[in-house]
Amino acid sequence: MRSDGLQVADELMGALAVRRPVVALESTLIAHGLPWPSNLQTAREAEAAVRAAGAVPATIAVWHGVPTVGLSDPQLEELARTPGVRKASRRDLGGAIALKQLAATTVSATMALAHATGVQVFATGGIGGAHRSERGTRSADVSSDLTELARTPVLVVCAGAKSILDLPRTLEILETLGVPVLGFRTDTFPAFYVRDHDPPLPVSCRVESAEDAAAVFDAHVRMGGGGAVLAQPCPAEFAVPAGEFDRWLSEAEREAHAAGVSGAKVTPFLLARVADQSGGRTLTANRALIVANARLAAEVSVKLTR
């Protein structure tokens, strides 16, 4: 364990010491985003994709009070099997550490721990953002992922923001916070399972290659910027049409309201209900985009280290 309390895997310590490319991976998708056994299978596939592209994977969690960067395979399986794992954002890290809890890290918490370790690139499924308005009233529920992106210089490779969110408002907040949104071979912001939002939402910069993405992020950080988003559309063969998704989401939102679901429980509830209504199609899309993002993140990390 390091003097700052971080437990960093030996392989990762060695990679960082010689400037080998590294990619951080979050653990919330394992504990809360996907059902067993898809969660473990996807976590392993994401790590394998990172290795195949020439980088070292570092899945991050709080392991019974110890912030851990680089989970072992037995730890991945324990996390995937254990019910009641805490979902920890940046705000929750202190509590999870002090109370010695097993906690899966969200985008914001994973970014914070990755940066503390010296990791610049992080792959996930979709970032959080602003939730949709309810009964004509603008929701005050805005993910801490957005403020973390504003202050922490980590490139987050994702399939845009989760489709259940208010995407135009999410992009407005990112613009206000000075967070660049790069589109990987796309001019428009993808919507997680859905490749194209209607109406289209423009990204702030289009890049055609991992090398271009690395160059833009490097320049952003050198100019004093924080984090950045690199958004890659869900693979076309797995993407869900927007009309179908909107129907599933409307029904899921009605169910969430009737059940009184709120706070951090809203996103996993909606995603689970949409997965059921889609007959597993969104689950398949989720797995595909997670692995694709892990591969792209590794390619960018390789270019950054060069």
251 catalytically annotated: no
Alpha-carbon gap, residue 50 to 32, rounded angstroms: 22
DSSP the chain: --TTS-EE-HHHHHHHHTT--EEEE-SHIIIIIS-TTHHHHHHHHHHHHHHHTT-EEEEEEEETTEEEES--HHHHHHHHH-TT-EEE-GGGHHHHHHTT--EEE-HHHHHHHHHHHT--EEE-S-B--BBPPBTTB----B-HHHHHHHHS--EEEESBB-TTB-HHHHHHHHHHTT--EEEES-SB--BTTBSS-SS--B-SEEESSHHHHHHHHHHHHHTT---EEEE-PPPTTT---HHHHHHHHHHHHHHHHHHT--GGGHHHHHHHHHHHHTTTHHHHHHHHHHHHHHHHHHHHHHHHH-
- The distance in angstroms from the start CA to the end CA of the chain is 28
100 catalytically annotated: no
Alpha-carbon gap, residue 113 to 124, rounded angstroms: 15
CA distances from 117 to 31, 65, 83, 254 (A): 22, 17, 28, 42
Alpha-carbon gap, residue 59 to 45, rounded angstroms: 12
Strands 22-25 and 56-63, by their bridges, are: parallel
Name the catalytic one among 26, 47, 77, 253. 26
Name the catalytic one among 87, 148, 162, 253. 162
> Catalytic residue positions?
26, 162
